[in-house]
Amino acid sequence: MTSRRALKAAEAVREVVSMAILSELNDPRIRDVTVTHVEVSADLRHAKVHVSVMGDARRQNLSLRGLQSAAGFLQVKVARRIETRYTPRIQFILDQGVKRSIEVARILHEVLPRPAEESVEEIEDEQPEGGGAEPGADWPAAPPPVAGPPPDPGEPPPRPPS
């Protein structure tokens, strides 16, 4: 089980690295990068930073190399944030989880029928030719509208007109 200290360090590393990627790194290779999660070893000497990069394999490798070249700069940022005897050595790992989930969603979208299309087709098949009855004809009639404000419970009911 991971210690509370390691979990707090992992969260701090994730925050520092995410903010630095967004605002401080000016490397043109590092674009469309998201830090998905961070794993820190029990002795806090190593940190695996899992990143997701939107784009093709070439774009992902280019961003990963840019991040690896900025690892020293990011370690200094992390060292200023967490006060430990050792600063975790940062290693970047490409996280394929987001890419896989998008691919699975695309495949499911192709394979599974769309419920809205099915219900429209079924309704059209069930109606007789000529359009059938007017829409809503089988619904109960709405209650008549009430005129005026609701009666006060302390007052007697109004008399009907004679």
Q: What is the CATH number of the domain that holds 100?
A: 3.30.300.20
Expressed as residue numbers, the domain containing 45 is 4-104
pLDDT reported for residue 45: 94
The reply to whether 90 falls in a domain is yes
pLDDT reported for residue 98: 77
pLDDT reported for residue 138: 62
pLDDT reported for residue 132: 53
The reply to whether 31 falls in a domain is yes
The reply to whether 122 falls in a domain is no
Per-residue pLDDT of the chain (162 residues; tens, 9 = 90+): 578 999 999 999 999 999 999 999 999 999 889 999 999 999 999 999 999 998 888 999 999 999 999 999 999 999 999 888 889 999 999 988 877 888 888 898 888 877 665 555 565 556 555 555 565 556 666 666 666 666 667 777 667 776
pLDDT reported for residue 121: 56
Tell me how far apart the alpha carbons of residues 60 and 65 are, in angstroms, rounded to a whole number.
Answer: 9
pLDDT reported for residue 110: 87
Domain count for the chain: 1
The reply to whether 64 falls in a domain is yes
Q: Between vectors from CA 119 to CA 116 and to CA 121, what angle results, nearest 5°? A: 110
Q: Which long-range contacts (CB under 8 A, 24 or more apart) does 39-42 make?
A: 39/10, 40/6, 40/7, 40/9, 40/10, 40/13, 40/88, 41/6, 41/88, 42/2, 42/3, 42/6
